[in-house]
Amino acid sequence: MDWHVIQANLPLLLRGLGTSLQLAAVAVLLSFPLGCLLAIGRLSRRAWLSLTCGGFVNLMRSNPLVLVLFWFYFLVPIITGRAVSDLGSIVIAFVIFFSVYFAEIVRSGIQSVGSRQVQAGLSTGLTYPQTMRHIVMPQAIRAMLPALTTQCIVVFQGTTVAYIVGYDELLHTASMAAERTGRPVELYVAVAVMYFLVCTAGSLLARNLERKS
Amino acid sequence: MNYQFNWAMLITEPYFGWIADGVLTTLHLALIAWCIAFVLGVAVGSCRVSGSAVLRLFGGAYVELFRNIPLLVQLFLWLYVAPQLLPADTRLWWNRLDSVPYWTAVIGISFYTSSRIAEQIRAAMNAIPQGQFRAALSTGLTPVQMYRHVILPYAIRIMLPAITSEFLTVFKNTALALTIGVLEITATTRKIEAWSFKGIEAYTVASLTYLATTVAVIGVMTWLERRLYIPGLIRRGG
Amino acid sequence: MTAPIIQIQDLGLAFDGFTALDGVSLDVMAGQCIVVCGPSGSGKSTLLRCVNGLERFQRGDVVVDGTSVRDCRDLPRLRRGIGMVFQHFELYPHMTVLENVTLAPIKAKGLSKAEAERVALHYLDQVGIADQAGKHPGRLSGGQQQRAAIARALALEPKVMLFDEPTSALDPEMISEVLRVMLDLARSGMTMLVVTHEMGFAREVADRIVFMDRGSIVETAGTAQFFSASQTERAREFLHKVLAKI
């Protein structure tokens, strides 16, 4: 075992970690709003809208992230007719893939509030959007905070999939360094520890939120 | 959009044979991994709710360890790091096996999934009313008999929907085995795409495989849920 | 004179600084029916759970039929001799009524399935629900569920029965069918320790009434004396409240 190799590569690995965190942050920030729209669409009384959104969610959920990534990697240039950066394809695939998971969390959060609260809101003369905005959503968000936090960890763990298309996030950085130095044991243990620390911090946060709510 | 479709190529050799192999690999990889994960998960989940502080600590550490490292990283650890911990002659035996990537994937996916199943076991056990434990003990059952005949059968029925979605997750997770060289369906279609530049046809096959399995698994689990459904206690559907 | 079948000696139990039981002593003779009453949180249910070792106490001891619960190395064996009935029935929802009743006789006592079913049907018949044996508990009414739970306890042919507020979770119209079963059981000579607020039942069958408050026994009296001339102010006040409800 040669632990100096970790020390020597630490700045590189930290940069990789930064890239992973940024990718996860972008994916969460874009897929959460899209997920909210999908959830509201799914709960809509218009059958065509609810069926379309539901079908899309179930179709996406039955596929693995890697495959979705391959799809977009292949499709985006064909559809747009020009070369798209690797990062562009990755972000599009991640956002669309993870939005359906956020949609499911938001949907069950809204449903957990229950129709009696909606009736109570409507009975006091609020409009439907007002009821959603002031009565349902505040309660729903509190109920789904732990699940949202857990999902953020899932997204962060999911960024490792970008390794497969050679994007320089943490795992890919480590594998390049492992190849260059010939020390895969030390480097993979080091990245495992880094992922473990970030994810553990996240799950502690989720547990805290759960206890509060 | 400028793309020439050629769906017929999918049923010509060598592609058709590849696809069949890929689908089969995905199926048995997922099944074997899930069975191991379930046994491990039940054992670890039981540790997490046991009366012994040592077992609870072990269960907690196990779950945190396997849940908080991405599966892809765990696969690399099993492939590159774990063999280094083996005695020299065992390592030699392992490295000479034909299907090291396959069994590495089985081990990696099993351990990763077992931590998630353990958490669901724990949640289900906590959802069982305390009175059930007391009632079972009060009739003179030993703690082991209590878990075996009363608590676990109850917990598994509560868990069934979660087990279904976990099973589907295992299916999707087998796709990550392509990174360590297992030719399951996603890797196979990737290969077909590289070979023929017919990405849409190839990936459609993979997507349909996952979609069909999802539909089949949900069908089987709904049937199972109906069979195991506890009259008057758990409402189906919803 | 023979020794009491249950001897509770200076029992003390505290969790997280809260004293649940504080020096409780009580003797129950074979064949007696003792009713324990008192306000909620007075430690009645905890006391019952100490008798079959479901709750670990810190002080004193319980001796059941010559076996010390404190030193007991084989709690399952001890518990087979003590039947317990719970407030919320605690039937196993995933098993039929018959399976509920036969589980412990088969697994804990080692009876054959056929023998266990014979015993189970006998007791299900005794509590009047033999015709419901094949159903799941969720399909029965509350009163039927509680009678099934009594049959489950009786199927082990225990020397002592413990009842922990057996009618508190029942709708009023179902209380009497459960009390009827308990009444018959007491008259047949079963030793019973019953936590209940059913003062009518107590008046009818109890040999003695124990009044508990804040973890200790405030008063023990013969049934007639308890109702006509309670010695303590607290017991009179409690009786007044409980009787006023009816």
Query: What is the spatial distance between Cα B81 and Cα B79, in angstroms, rounded to a whole number?
Result: 6
**Given an 8 Å threshold on Cβ–Cβ distance, is A70 in contact with B189?**
yes
Other beta carbons within 10 Å of C84: 26
Could you tell me what percent of chain B has a pLDDT over 70? Answer: 96
The CB-side HSE value for B27 (13 A sphere, CA atoms) comes to: 13
Three-state SS letters, C57-92: CCEEEEEECCEECCCCCCHHHHHHCEEEECCCCCCC
* pLDDT mean over C28-34: 94
Min mean pLDDT across B218-227, C50-59, C91-100, C111-120 is at B218-227
pLDDT score, position A103: 93
**Given an 8 Å threshold on Cβ–Cβ distance, is B203 in contact with A195?**
no
Among B145, B150, B232, beta carbon nearest to C92: B150
What is the reported pTM?
A: 0.78
- The number of residues in chain A equals 213
**Given an 8 Å threshold on Cβ–Cβ distance, is B1 in contact with A78?**
yes
CB A69 within 8 Å of CB A161: yes
* pLDDT mean over A28-32: 95
pLDDT score, position A126: 73
Q: Please write the tens of the pLDDT for every residue from C73-87.
A: 888 888 889 999 999
- Tell which of A3, A17, A58, A70 to mutate to test the B interface (max B CBs under 10 Å): A70
pLDDT score, position B196: 82
* pLDDT mean over C91-117: 90
CATH of the domain at A140: 1.10.3720.10
Helix (H, G, I), strand (E, B) or coil at C151: helix
Helix (H, G, I), strand (E, B) or coil at C13: strand
Query: What is the spatial distance between Cα B205 and Cα B190, in angstroms, rounded to a whole number?
Result: 11
CA-based radius of gyration for chain B:
22
- Tell me what the pLDDT averaged over chain A comes to: 88
Q: Provide, as residue numbers in chain C, all residues whose Cβ is less than 8 Å from the Cβ of B140.
A: 76-81, 104, 108-109, 156
- Tell me what the pLDDT averaged over chain C comes to: 91
Better-predicted residue by pLDDT, C32 or B163: C32
DSSP per position, B178-235:
GGGT---HHHHHHHHHHHHS-HHHHHHHHHHHHHHHHHHHHHHHHHHHHHH--TTTS-
pLDDT score, position A80: 77
pLDDT score, position C187: 92
Q: Do chains C and B touch, with touching meaning 3 or more CB–CB pairs less than 8 Å apart?
A: yes
**Given an 8 Å threshold on Cβ–Cβ distance, is A199 in contact with B179?**
no
**Closest by Cα among A159, A174, A158, A160 to B81:** A174
The fold of the B19-228 domain, in CATH, is: MetI-like fold (1.10.3720)
Q: Please write the tens of the pLDDT for every residue from B211-226.
A: 999 999 888 888 887 8
Q: Measured between CA atoms, how close is B137 to chain C, in angstroms?
A: 7
pLDDT score, position B238: 29
pLDDT score, position B65: 94
- For residue A62, the enclosing domain spans 3-212
pLDDT score, position C47: 94
> Considering only alpha carbons, which residue of chain A is nearest residue B170?
A64
Q: Provide, as residue numbers in chain C, all residues whose Cβ is less than 8 Å from the Cβ of B138.
A: 52, 54, 79, 82-84, 153, 162
Q: Please write the tens of the pLDDT for every residue from B90-125.
A: 888 888 888 889 999 999 999 999 999 999 988 888
Better-predicted residue by pLDDT, B233 or B211: B211
Among C135, C149, C156, beta carbon nearest to B140: C156
Instruction: Count how many domains chain A has.
Output: 1
Query: What is the spatial distance between Cα C181 and Cα C165, in angstroms, rounded to a whole number?
Result: 14
How does residue A142 score in pLDDT terms, banded at 50, 70 and 90? confident
Q: Please write the tens of the pLDDT for every residue from C139-175.
A: 899 999 999 999 999 999 999 999 999 999 899 889 9
Q: Please write the tens of the pLDDT for every residue from A84-117.
A: 788 888 999 999 999 999 999 998 888 888 777 7
pLDDT score, position C1: 56
Residue ranges of domains in chain B: 19-228
Among B135, B140, B230, beta carbon nearest to C138: B230
Residue C3 carries which DSSP code? P
Could you tell me what percent of chain B has a pLDDT over 90? Answer: 39
pLDDT score, position A207: 84
Among C87, C104, C138, beta carbon nearest to B233: C138
Among A59, A71, A196, beta carbon nearest to B68: A196
How does residue B236 score in pLDDT terms, banded at 50, 70 and 90? very low
